[in-house]
Amino acid sequence: MAEAVRCAGGWLFDRVTAGWDVTVLTPDRADPRPLRILGARPADLDCALASPVRGPRPRAIAVCAGLYRSDPRVRRMVLRALDDKAVEVTLWDGMCPVDGGPVECPGEGAWLPHRLSMAARAFKAQAMAAAAVPADAGGATEFFRRGEPAGV
C-alpha cells in the first residue's frame, strides 16, 4: 500500500477528482487510511482475484510492475485487460525515479509523466505521512507506462 501511495498516489487522487471510481487492490492488509485520504477505496487483492467480476467491468487498471512480475494471477488479469481494447492498462514501478524527467528503463520502454495537480500533491503528502512514507519520496511528477507490459 505504501508503494502505491508513493508511486501513484497523486495520479490516483487526480483520477478521483476527475470523477473516476477508484478501487485499489493491495496484497497486504495495511491501514486503509492512506488510500482513503486520496479518495480511493481499498480492497483485498486475493479476494478480488478469487471472485467473479460483478457489475460493470473496469475501464482502466493500474498495476505495480513488480506485482505483475511476481504474481501470475495479476499477470493473467493484465493480459486479459490488454485483450479488451476498451480497457486502459497502466503500469507503475517503484524501482524507477518518481521525479526528475522521463526515464528509459532497459527493455521496458518509455515512462510517461503525469504532472500532479497542486491538490494531488497536498493530499499525497498527507497520505504518505499516514503510510509512514518519507516526505522526500514524493515529487511533482509520477511516471507510468501504458499498454503492453513487454519486458516487464
Confidence band for 104, pLDDT divided at 50, 70 and 90: very low
> What pLDDT does residue 94 have?
59
**In 3D, which of 95, 87, 74 has the Cα closest to residue 26?**
74
Per DSSP, the three-state class of 79 is helix
**Percentage of residues of the chain with pLDDT beyond 90:** 32
Is the pLDDT at 18 greater than 50? The verdict is: yes
How many Å separate Cα 47 from the centre of its chain?
18
> How many other CB atoms are found less than 10 A from the CB of residue 18?
9
> What pLDDT does residue 134 have?
84
User: Model pTM?
Assistant: 0.81
> What pLDDT does residue 109 have?
58
> What pLDDT does residue 137 have?
61
Locate the domains of the chain by residue range. Answer: 2-146
- For residues 93-121, average pLDDT: 64
- For residues 119-148, average pLDDT: 86
> What pLDDT does residue 25 have?
86
> What pLDDT does residue 32 have?
92
